[in-house]
């Protein structure tokens, strides 16, 4: 028989366990944990509780590829088709500042960060997208220089026979180390984190767990990214599943750094003497709106063929570990950071950029919470 909590409380539970929290955060990914950390820092007396349904964070933060990237030239060219120059530049700034914040907060050595540089590769110089990206390079380099002070960051190069655009400021990190470091900081700061605690309902000032237990809080923040629509109807953020795998060790791995292909849909990097590759969601986008961690055989096969036919690694390479994770994509590439009409706060919709913008989004959320509190 399944255990069901009720609203019945013992004297002791009532007195010492079920007090009203100042803030309950649902979701222990980079967004939820960073918000809890920054809020606690500003309000040391605040009682903050982070809830996650998994035994550890089971969203995209621990399932990504670890690219600490801010935008390939091809991605920026694509963005300019849909958005104004101002919003594309704003996001570039957000990503660059977000990466700085992440590195300063957690420390490069604790998150395995390396500024390796990154290549965006193209099949041929005749590709109109390549030509447009090359033509726009000076403009994008100028934007990056305005933000970082580093000139000419985008350069045309050939890598392993592919025409490419290199940016020396791109890099990657170890997502497992990032999670561990962030959890360590959160626990040292005195934030309470509860695992294996699926939430079934959120309302202003109240969170209901799947076992029926109700918890009270002055504020409730949903930091559930791709899962947000399962808990709140008032969000445009929808799930978008991503797939990745790591190969067994390779003798021949001619790639170093964070590499992109096909407008950023495909991404790959070295991981010691292994290759980590993921993406290709565009091969079957309609199926990849699921929140189930299942592997799509079409996408898997596409990536296998890409590695075998285009990346020039050992011919008998094998997959070691493969997985999926769920991202959240909103109506635009700008994440939602707001209070909903029923008083719940929402920070979600980080797309494929959460490593870079997760902490910045958390900072913005803390500012919003403070403004609302008159702090
Ligand atoms: C395969 C893949 C590769 C990626 N590669 C990169 C990359 O290289 N670089 C990059 O910048 N970004 C990448 N991303 C995107 C990035 O990982 C995300 O943008 C980022 O991790 C989002 O962080 P978050 O904290 O907002 O959400 P998440 O990390 O998804 O956290 C949400 C949390 O909410 C919890 N939760 C959900 N529902 C409930 C519930 N009902 N009750 C309790 N808890 C709940 C989940 O368990 C989860 O821990 C990738 C994503 C994937 C899937």
Q: What is the pLDDT of residues 321-356, one digit of tens each?
A: 999 999 999 999 999 999 998 899 999 999 999 999
Considering the domain architecture, whether residues 245 and 325 belong to the same structural domain is answered as yes
Angle at 317 between CA 295 and CA 72, to 5 degrees: 65
pLDDT for the residue numbered 372: 83
Taking the model in full, what pTM does it have?
A: 0.97
- To test ligand 1's pocket by mutation, which of 50, 227, 333 has the most ligand atoms within 8 angstroms of CB? 227
Are residue 309 and residue 348 in the same domain, yes or no?
A: no
Residues 357 and 262 occupy one common structural domain? no
Q: What is the pLDDT of residue 71?
A: 92
Same domain membership, residue 146 and residue 221: no
Residue 374: the pLDDT is 64
pLDDT along the chain (375 residues), means of 10: 76 87 97 98 97 96 97 94 94 96 98 97 96 97 97 97 97 98 98 97 95 94 97 95 98 97 96 98 96 97 98 97 97 94 95 97 97 73
Pick the last residue of a domain from 299, 314, 329: 329
Residue 76 falls inside a structural domain: no
Same domain, 231 and 255: no
Atom of ligand 1 nearest to the CA of 200: 41
338 with 286, same domain: the answer is no
Query: Is 206 a domain residue?
Result: yes
Residues with Cβ within 8 Å of residue 162, at least 6 apart in sequence: 119, 121, 122, 123
Clarify whether residues 159 and 261 are in a common domain.
yes
Residue 155 and residue 192 share a domain = no
> Which of 352, 357, 360 is the best mutation target for the ligand 1 pocket, counting ligand atoms within 8 Å of the beta carbon and taking the most?
352
Residue 167 burial by CB count (10 A; 0-12/13-18/19+): exposed, middle or buried? Answer: buried
Residue ranges in 155-247 assigned as alpha helix (H): 175-189, 228-231
258 and 295 both lie in a single domain:
yes
Residue with the smallest CA separation from ligand 1 atom 9 is: 67
Tell whether 162 and 288 lie within a shared domain: yes
For 81, residues 6+ apart whose C-beta sits below 8 A from its C-beta are none
Is 57 a member of any domain? yes
**Domain contains 311:** yes
Residues 6+ apart with CB under 8 A from 137: 73, 154, 155, 156, 165
Pull the structure tokens for residue 164: 């490419």
Q: pLDDT tens across 42-64, in order?
A: 999 999 999 999 999 999 999 99
Q: How many domains does the chain have?
A: 2
Q: Is residue 147 part of a domain?
A: yes
What CATH number is associated with residue 343? Answer: 3.50.50.60
Query: Same domain, yes or no, for 279 and 295?
Result: yes
Domain assignment of residue 298, given as a range: 117-169+239-329
- For residues 182 and 194, give the distance between their C-alpha atoms in angstroms, rounded to a whole number: 15
Domain presence at residue 80: no
Pocket of ligand 1 (CB under 6 A): 26-32, 51-54, 57-61, 63-67, 198-199, 223-227, 231, 242, 244, 278, 325, 327, 350, 352-356, 358
- Is residue 95 in a domain? no
Asked whether residue 88 is assigned to any structural domain, the reply reads: no
265/316 same-domain check:
yes
What's the CATH number where 154 sits?
Answer: 3.30.9.10
Going by alpha carbons, the residue nearest to atom 51 of ligand 1 is 64
């Amino acid at each position: 028989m399944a255990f069901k909590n009720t609203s019945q409380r013992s004297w002791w539970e009532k007195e010492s366990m079920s007090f009203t929290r100042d803030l309950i955060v649902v979701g222990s990914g980079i967004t939820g944990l960073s918000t809890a950390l920054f809020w606690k820092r500003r309000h040391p007396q605040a009682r903050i509780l982070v809830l996650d349904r998994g035994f550890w964070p089971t969203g995209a933060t621990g399932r990504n590829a670890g690219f600490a990237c801010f935008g390939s030239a091809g991605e920026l060219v694509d963005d300019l088709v849909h958005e104004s120059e101002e919003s594309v530049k704003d996001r570039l700034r957000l990503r660059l500042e977000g990466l700085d914040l992440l590195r300063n907060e957690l420390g490069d050595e604790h998150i395995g960060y390396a500024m390796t540089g990154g290549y965006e590769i193209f099949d041929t110089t005749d590709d109109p997208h390549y030509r447009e990206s090359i033509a726009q390079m000076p403009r994008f380099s100028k934007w990056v220089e305005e933000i970082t002070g580093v000139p000419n960051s985008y350069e045309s190069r050939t890598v392993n026979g592919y025409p490419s655009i290199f940016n020396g400021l791109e890099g990657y990190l170890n997502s497992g180390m990032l999670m561990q470091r962030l959890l360590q900081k959160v626990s040292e700061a005195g934030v309470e984190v509860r695992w294996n605690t699926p939430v079934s309902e959120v309302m202003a000032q109240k969170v209901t767990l799947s076992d029926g237990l109700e918890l009270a809080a002055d504020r409730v923040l949903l930091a559930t990214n791709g899962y947000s629509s399962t808990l709140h109807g008032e969000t445009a953020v929808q799930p978008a599943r991503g797939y990745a795998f790591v190969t067994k060790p390779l003798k021949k791995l001619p790639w170093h750094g964070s590499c992109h292909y096909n407008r950023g849909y495909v991404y790959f990097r070295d991981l010691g003497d292994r290759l980590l590759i993921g993406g290709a969601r565009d091969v079957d986008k309609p199926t990849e709106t699921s929140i189930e961690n299942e592997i799509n055989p079409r996408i898997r096969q596409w990536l296998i063929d890409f590695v075998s036919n285009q990346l020039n690694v050992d011919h008998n390479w094998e997959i070691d570990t493969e997985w999926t994770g769920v991202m959240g994509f909103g109506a635009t590439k700008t994440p939602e950071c707001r209070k909903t009409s029923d008083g719940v706060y929402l920070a979600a919709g980080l797309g494929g950029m959460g490593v870079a913008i997760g902490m910045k989004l958390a900072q913005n959320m803390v500012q919003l919470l403070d403004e609302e509190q008159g702090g």
